[in-house]
Chain A
Amino acid sequence: MKSREDEYRELFMAEALEAYDDMSRHLSELERAPDDKSVLNELFRLMHNLKSSARSMGHTAIGEVAHHLESLFGQVRASERQFTGSLVRVIFNGLDILGAMIRAVGANAEMPDSSGLLNLLDRAIAGEEVEVAVESETEEESGRKLELSDLVYIQVKKLDKLLNLVGELVIDRDRILTLAEELDSPALRATARHLFRISDDLQYSVMDARLVGVGTLLNRFPRVVRDVATSEGKEVELTMNGQDTQIDRNVLQVIADALLHLVRNAVSHGLETPAERVAAGKNPTGQLSLVALTEREDVLIQVSDDGKGIDTEVVRKKAIERGLTTAGVAANLDDQAVWSFLFEPGFSTASQVTDISGRGVGLDVVKRALDSLGGQLRVDSEPGKGTTFTLVLPTSIAVKGALLVELDGRAYAVALMHTDTVLSLQPAQFSVVGGLFVTHVQGRAVPVVPLAQLLLEEGDEPLPLASKDSLHGLQNVLIVNYNNRRLGLLVDKFVRQQNIVVKPLSKPLDHIDLFGGVTLLGSGQMCLVLDVPALTRLFLARRP
């Protein structure tokens, strides 16, 4: 975590360097117009601030030089002397050395010796006519470089544009690769391969330029936790880990509010009061941890508390009350499936004040933020032990890993983030339960539905009842996962796995929420990107 000292140090450096640049400019102005009072005032003020800041940072040597120069400016301002002749050279020389001293602080280098300068300035202040030693001037002259910072600040907007252009480039590249194969020209193929390598590298570099440490967001939280804990009368110890984990800046921006929500919830609802904790045989101080880590292509951010955990039965009951499920179905759901209701819109709206489970206040908002990124929200809880929310985020937003499947001769893409597994099953491995195909994946029953029924048959009526007579030969099942809920989709063929650049759908198709966007394949073929959250919702609404 960035400490307060680090923060002060950064602020000091930024302000000192800026002041130095401004003063250099003003000094040149003053040389041309030695009587300009406003420039003198500005120089005096900047030098004065630098002196104060340097002293409070403990950089006494810088403070001393600044103090002397300030005194000289004071004398000029009070018209006790003129800013001409040797005084100009003395002050320019002093400012140069001051700049070198500031840079030494930034570089953690040894501070240049300023005793000679201080002596010179002392004599100048006393009214002596002094001259900068000639050798020091030539030395300064030869050693002078126009130093620019190694860092460039750039607007996110410009990076967004770069990323979009790279996206277009990648699509054309895939097209050229396909053409090279079709035309069977060795020269074109070699060039295409080279283009592939370069554009891959370029894409990686642009994505890399957009990465920031998760710490830039996490570092806001000690203060938030402190404030919420104080107002709720809780004792909370916050631990953070993985601040250096890299993630796209825009992803971080999108989840900032969601994370704030989860952290506030954890403190005010997840963790108990000190008295309750003592009564439960726990340490009065609650533990809250914020951890970021990279897992394969994704970044995980976990918010864990050691509080009272989620009361599954209360959630089950509320889900029935809210009409999100029926009592019969709810009775057979496992804990994970019950907790998924927490993320349903409308789960908590009526109960924000008397929220018994302590969870669910606006969790659908968190869920929506993650959906918009193609991310996932997972929850895990143990009564009396605590709750962990896990945000699964893509490292980058533009390019997604996707699985291409084929249906009726058309290709569709499904984000890998939402795919669990692919299976090829014999008809015997399906059973029919309540009019739905069901198969078993890792010991859990998963409903399976022909993708064609969801995509191609319009209307709100329930899906037709499943019949095993319709299954002939090996069936290709894509298991998708959304909100802890698995769903099997029957497709004609699995094509391949590929990185795709998702473009939003243009009008009038943009209202079809089953499609998250469109991508162009190397063959030039258009490919719709399936929106797994929307498909899951459609399935739930139309299940027989």
Chain B
Amino acid sequence: MNKRILIVDDSFYMRTMLKNMLTDAGYEVVGEAANGAQAIEMAESTTPDLITLDVILPDNTGLDVLKSLREKVPASKVVMCSAVGQEVIVTEAIENGALAYIVKPFSEEKVLEIVNSALQG
């Protein structure tokens, strides 16, 4: 069965791009959340194999969302998405259970490499 992925990003543009990359690679995108509250709700209802989580979100910080996700859907793996320059947050995210991080702007190769290895790990 295809691995199921939830995308969390506040930019529609970024979500569309990520979704295209992931579906083209054969993953099933089970949902797209634009903020932290949606992310937690959708993660609980879909229990995806993997969640891509933007570091900066409108309602919550990505870190807070990460902590809730680890608590509520511990089986879902989380990969952080962040632009260059957010290394401090990313380090903290990894300490809080994120498996890896994808640096924006996305390159298709990089995204798939990180997602593949996170799902296998």
Asked if A11 contacts B104 (CB within 8 A), the reply is: no
A204 at the interface (CB under 8 A from B): no
Asked if A8 contacts B13 (CB within 8 A), the reply is: yes
Interface size class of B (residues with CB under 8 A): 10 to 19
Interface membership of chain A positions 35-65, coded 1 if the CB is closer than 8 angstroms to chain B and 0 otherwise: 0000000101100110111011000000000
Residue of B nearest to A52 (CB): B104
Which residues, 12 to 67 on B, are CB-close (under 8 Å) to A? 12-14, 16-17, 20, 56-58
Q: How far is the CA of A52 from the CA of B13 in the complex (A)?
A: 10
Which of chain A's residues have a CB closer than 8 A to the CB of B12? 11, 15
Which of chain B's residues have a CB closer than 8 A to the CB of A7? 16
Q: How far is the CA of A55 from the CA of B105 in the complex (A)?
A: 6
Asked if B16 contacts A52 (CB within 8 A), the reply is: no
Asked if B56 contacts A44 (CB within 8 A), the reply is: yes
Which residues, 63 to 98 on B, are CB-close (under 8 Å) to A? 83, 85
Which of chain A's residues have a CB closer than 8 A to the CB of B20? 4
How far is the CB of A293 from the nearest CB of chain B, in Å?
Answer: 31
Tell me which of B11, B16, B17, B85 contacts A49 (CB under 8 A): B11
Q: How far is the CA of A53 from the CA of B17 in the complex (A)?
A: 10
Q: How far is the CA of A178 from the CA of B47 in the complex (A)?
A: 70
Most chain B beta-carbon neighbours within 10 Å: one of A15, A49, A52, A67: A52
A12 at the interface (CB under 8 A from B): yes
Which of chain B's residues have a CB closer than 8 A to the CB of A4? 20
Which of chain B's residues have a CB closer than 8 A to the CB of A52? 11, 14, 83, 104-105
Tell me which of B17, B83, B105 contacts A48 (CB under 8 A): B83
Q: How far is the CA of A11 from the CA of B12 in the complex (A)?
A: 7
Asked if A56 contacts B56 (CB within 8 A), the reply is: no
Q: How far is the CA of A121 from the CA of B85 in the complex (A)?
A: 17
- Say what secondary structure dominates the interface of chain B: mixed
Which of chain A's residues have a CB closer than 8 A to the CB of B13? 8, 11-12, 15, 53
Interface size class of A (residues with CB under 8 A): 10 to 19
Tell me which of A42, A45, A53, A67 contacts B14 (CB under 8 A): A53
- Say what secondary structure dominates the interface of chain A: helix
Which residues, 93 to 121 on B, are CB-close (under 8 Å) to A? 104-106
Which of chain B's residues have a CB closer than 8 A to the CB of A11? 12-13, 16
Q: How far is the CA of A56 from the CA of B81 in the complex (A)?
A: 13
Which of chain A's residues have a CB closer than 8 A to the CB of B14? 49, 52-53, 56
Residue of A nearest to B26 (CB): A230
Q: How far is the CA of A15 from the CA of B106 in the complex (A)?
A: 17
Q: How far is the CA of A347 from the CA of B105 in the complex (A)?
A: 54
Residue of A nearest to B57 (CB): A45
Asked if A42 contacts B58 (CB within 8 A), the reply is: yes
Which of chain B's residues have a CB closer than 8 A to the CB of A42? 58
Which of chain A's residues have a CB closer than 8 A to the CB of B106? 56
Most chain A beta-carbon neighbours within 10 Å: one of B10, B13, B16: B13
Which of chain B's residues have a CB closer than 8 A to the CB of A56? 14, 17, 104-106
Q: How far is the CA of A67 from the CA of B13 in the complex (A)?
A: 18
Q: How far is the CA of A533 from the CA of B13 in the complex (A)?
A: 47
Which of chain B's residues have a CB closer than 8 A to the CB of A48? 56, 83
Residue of A nearest to B23 (CB): A223
Which of chain B's residues have a CB closer than 8 A to the CB of A51? 83
Asked if A45 contacts B58 (CB within 8 A), the reply is: yes
Which residues, 1 to 33 on A, are CB-close (under 8 Å) to B? 4, 7-8, 11-12, 15
Most chain B beta-carbon neighbours within 10 Å: one of A49, A53, A67: A49
Asked if B11 contacts A15 (CB within 8 A), the reply is: yes
Interface membership of chain A positions 298-342, coded 1 if the CB is closer than 8 angstroms to chain B and 0 otherwise: 000000000000000000000000000000000000000000000
Q: What 5 A-B pairs are tightest by C-beta distance, nearest first?
A: A56-B105, A52-B104, A55-B105, A11-B13, A49-B11
Q: 4 more A-B contacts (CB under 8 A) besides A11-B16, A56-B17, A56-B104?
A: A8-B17, A15-B13, A42-B58, A45-B58
- Listed in ascending order, the chain B residues whose CB lies under 8 Å from chain A are 10-14, 16-17, 20, 56-58, 83, 85, 104-106
8 residue pairs bridging A and B, Cβ less than 8 Å apart: A8-B17, A15-B12, A42-B58, A45-B10, A49-B14, A53-B13, A53-B14, A56-B105
